[in-house]
Amino acid sequence: MTPSETRAIVTLSLLAAFVDGEKHERERAEIKRIAEGLSEADGVQLPMLYQDVLMKRVSLPAVAAELKSSESKQLAYEMAVCVCDADGTQSEAERMFLADVRTSLGLDAPAAKQFAKEAEEIAAVPLSTAVAAAAPSATVDNAELDQAILNAAILNGALELLPETLSTMAIIPLQMKLVYRIGRAHGHELDSGHVKDFLATVGVGLTSQYLEQAGRKLLGGLLGKVGGGMLRGLGKQAVSSGMSFATTYALGHVAKRYYAGGRTLSMQMLKEAYASVTQEAQGLQTRYLPAMQEKARTLDAGKILSMVRSA
């Protein structure tokens, strides 16, 4: 992929992130932070692209014109869909935007709509499952919860290694289901709104997290349905620094502390706890990298939806 195509894909993703006009200020701040953190990678000056999108200095037709190959067009569309779905099912503005994207890129409508349908289904998976919604026992099995957190972190670290866009998108609902399960284990009734607020409070934005994960993979040459993509990912794990493993591990342990303590931690305490545990988790990444690699080899990218549903 050429640098201009990479820039166009990132620009389209940023357009998708702001198309509904309802992003919370802290989510905008996170997206700006990511743009600055990934600046000038592969010739892509993300801070400049971020400003161009916010100031409406770019248009969809101009971005589409930069995408020459069918592969880059498909990848651009898939990333835009996943950005729109990262914080839940699509709004009317997002649906209209994606329809315009399909037209501008000249994509095969049935195939493109099928991908959007699959992404929507992942975004709409309920938090509750037979396991997660089971009535909490009188005592909390901390060892069992610790193992569930580690297993979830390894699974999301493995998903980060796969080249498919839907694999990256699945990480967020799996993190939400983990928080839900931990809250339930401590006797708290939760819904998706509460879980999203918890993630936002500790500093994990939904749209911004997807942009960061997918952006790192894209700029590192790992994202896209190309032969041998997964094996290249296994060899270039450092590109994304095991971000999904660390964030999932930290979310799980901070949620465990929060709900075990009766939800009494302040916003500042939650942020500090999350930052501390994330740093600890980054130190564990090398230790568990072989487990992530082995898990990635066994994952079937065609069964992402069923995996999210059963988690």
Is a pLDDT exceeding 50 seen at residue 232?
Answer: no
Is a pLDDT exceeding 90 seen at residue 140?
Answer: no
109 band by pLDDT with thresholds 50, 70 and 90: confident
Q: Which of 44-48, 61-65, 114-118, 233-237 has the lowest mean pLDDT?
A: 233-237
Helix axes of 267-298 and 192-202: crossing angle, nearest 10 degrees: 100
Beta carbons within 8 Å of 62's beta carbon, 6+ residues apart: none
237-280 pLDDT tens trace: 444 557 899 999 999 999 999 999 888 888 899 999 999 999 99
* Biggest CA-to-CA distance, the chain: 61
**pTM (two decimals):** 0.86
Is a pLDDT exceeding 80 seen at residue 300?
Answer: yes
Q: Which of 22-36, 119-133, 161-175, 221-235 has the lowest mean pLDDT?
A: 221-235
11 by Cβ neighbours in 10 Å (0-12 / 13-18 / 19+) ranks as buried
Is a pLDDT exceeding 70 seen at residue 137?
Answer: no
Is a pLDDT exceeding 50 seen at residue 107?
Answer: yes
Domain boundaries, the chain: 3-122, 125-310
135 band by pLDDT with thresholds 50, 70 and 90: low
Is a pLDDT exceeding 50 seen at residue 24?
Answer: yes
Q: What pLDDT, on the 0 to 100 scale, is given for residue 166?
A: 87
Q: 3-122: which CATH number, 1.10.3680, 1.10.10, 1.10.1740, 1.25.40?
A: 1.10.3680
Which secondary-structure segment (H or E) carries 71? helix 70-85
154-197 pLDDT tens trace: 999 999 888 888 888 999 999 999 999 999 998 888 888 899 99
3-state secondary structure 235-294: HCHHHCCCHHHHHHHHHHHHHHHHHHCCCCCCHHHHHHHHHHHHHHHHHHHHHHHHHHHH
Q: Mean pLDDT score of the chain, rounded to an integer?
A: 84
Is a pLDDT exceeding 60 seen at residue 25?
Answer: yes
Q: What pLDDT, on the 0 to 100 scale, is given for residue 160?
A: 86
Give the up-direction half-sphere exposure of residue 54: CA atoms within 13 A in the CB hemisphere: 13
Is a pLDDT exceeding 50 seen at residue 209?
Answer: yes
What is the C-alpha to C-alpha distance for residues 141 and 186, in angstroms, rounded to an integer? 10
Give the up-direction half-sphere exposure of residue 234: CA atoms within 13 A in the CB hemisphere: 13
51-84 pLDDT tens trace: 888 888 999 999 999 999 988 999 999 999 999 9
Q: What pLDDT, on the 0 to 100 scale, is given for residue 49?
A: 82
Positive or negative, the Cα torsion across 125, 127, 132, 135?
Answer: negative
186 by Cβ neighbours in 10 Å (0-12 / 13-18 / 19+) ranks as middle
Q: What is the DSSP letter of 41?
A: B
Which among 17, 8, 300 is positioned nearest to 167, based on CA atoms?
A: 300
Is a pLDDT exceeding 70 seen at residue 229?
Answer: no
State what percent of residues in the chain have pLDDT above 90: 37
Q: What pLDDT, on the 0 to 100 scale, is given for residue 155?
A: 94
Give the 3-state secondary structure of residue 170: coil
Is a pLDDT exceeding 70 seen at residue 227?
Answer: no
83-96 pLDDT tens trace: 999 888 788 899 99
Q: What pLDDT, on the 0 to 100 scale, is given for residue 213?
A: 82
240 in Cβ contact with 38 (< 8 Å): no
